[in-house]
């Protein structure tokens, strides 16, 4: 994959900071890890697949960063505990946690089973809480400082094909606010990023017809890039972003302001 676009941050903007990015082998996670690497941070990246992790390691090291990669399924508490321990053993602290790992499938609401709903929430909500709690208890609270970032979706309302994910990501927005108000006394900030449609590997699986339809209702007329999300998150960790907490930043080309903009299906007569 291509290297990140030129960073707006100075090469030492995040010098001395340690960032942990979940789901950091591909997409937004990878771009975020590289944005931190390019701005001087030490980077820990976790994910389930070793090949993307090693590729991300090589890319981050080529930018001069110290890098730790750890194969981890964040749905498993034992693996999360091992991950956090490995980062602390290597770097001694964790200043930024980017909860990027997540996933969902496309389905109309009536086709989502309870099992499917629980699977999406286990990854997108339960795992995020567990990683956040583990990092806070073992690193950020003792060191009296840190930034916790959660990733959501835009538009910030219901979705015709991803009700399970829309509900889960709304929970993450609330979690980031709760982090900010509960842990401000420890110097910990919480910020939620509501990302619009970002042109990553995962987007390719949604079919060209759906991609074309969605692109047509984005006011800026294009999908976002993973670099645009990653560089924003890297900025939030710098001194320039130090007063930002307890809020949601929408990065979606105007999609949330516009609304879905897609005609709803016509009402169906009763059988």
Q: Which residue has the higher pLDDT, 110 or 133?
A: 133
β 146-153/247-251 pair status: unpaired
206 vs 63, higher pLDDT: 63
Which is higher by pLDDT, 188 or 268? 188
Facing residues of 46 across strands?
22, 70
pLDDT over 90 (residue 176): yes
- Is the model's pLDDT at 257 over the cut of 50? yes
pLDDT band at 208 (very low <50, low <70, confident <90, very high): confident
State residue 205's pLDDT score.
65
97 neighbors 148 (Cβ within 8 angstroms): yes
Q: What is the pLDDT of residue 160?
A: 76
Virtual CA dihedral for 194, 198, 200, 202, nearest 10 degrees? 70
Count how many Cα atoms sit within 13 Å of the Cα of residue 38 in the half-sphere of its side chain: 23
Q: What is residue 4's predicted lDDT score, i.e. its pLDDT?
A: 54
Band of residue 214 on the pLDDT scale cut at 50, 70, 90: confident
Check if the beta carbon of residue 29 is closer than 8 Å to that of residue 193: no
Tell me the average pLDDT across 210-234: 90
pLDDT beyond 50 at 2: no
The pLDDT tens digits of the residues spanning 35-57 come to 999 999 999 999 999 999 999 99
Q: pLDDT per residue over 75-107, tens digit each? A: 999 999 999 999 999 999 999 999 999 887 778
Rg of the chain, C-alpha, whole Å: 18
Which whole number is the average pLDDT over 64-83?
97
pLDDT averaged over every residue in the chain: 92
């Amino acid at each position: 994959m291509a290297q990140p676009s030129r960073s707006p941050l100075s090469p030492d903007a995040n010098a001395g900071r340690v960032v942990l990015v979940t789901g950091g082998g591909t997409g937004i996670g990878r771009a975020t890890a590289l944005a931190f690497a390019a701005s001087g941070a030490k980077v820990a990246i976790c994910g389930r697949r070793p090949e993307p992790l090693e590729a991300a390691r090589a890319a981050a090291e080529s930018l001069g960063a110290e890098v730790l990669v750890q194969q981890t399924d964040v749905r498993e508490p034992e693996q999360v505990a091992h991950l956090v321990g490995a980062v602390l053993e290597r770097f001694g602290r964790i200043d930024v946690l980017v909860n990027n790992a997540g996933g969902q499938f496309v389905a109309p609401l009536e086709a989502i089973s309870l099992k499917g709903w629980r699977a999406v929430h286990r990854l997108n909500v339960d795992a995020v809480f567990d990683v956040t709690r583990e990092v806070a208890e073992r690193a950020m609270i003792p060191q009296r400082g840190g930034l916790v970032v959660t990733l959501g979706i835009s538009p910030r309302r219901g979705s015709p094909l991803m009700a399970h994910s829309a509900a889960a990501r709304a929970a993450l927005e609330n979690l980031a606010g709760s982090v900010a108000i509960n842990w401000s006394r420890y110097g910990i900030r919480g910020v939620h990023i509501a990302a619009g449609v970002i042109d990553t590997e995962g987007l390719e699986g949604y079919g060209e017809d759906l991609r074309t339809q969605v692109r047509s209702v984005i006011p800026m007329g294009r999908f976002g890039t993973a670099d645009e999300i990653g560089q924003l998150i890297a900025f939030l960790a710098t001194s320039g972003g130090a007063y930002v907490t307890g809020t949601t930043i929408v990065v979606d080309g105007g999609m949330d302001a516009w609304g879905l903009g897609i005609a709803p299906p016509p009402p169906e007569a009763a059988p």
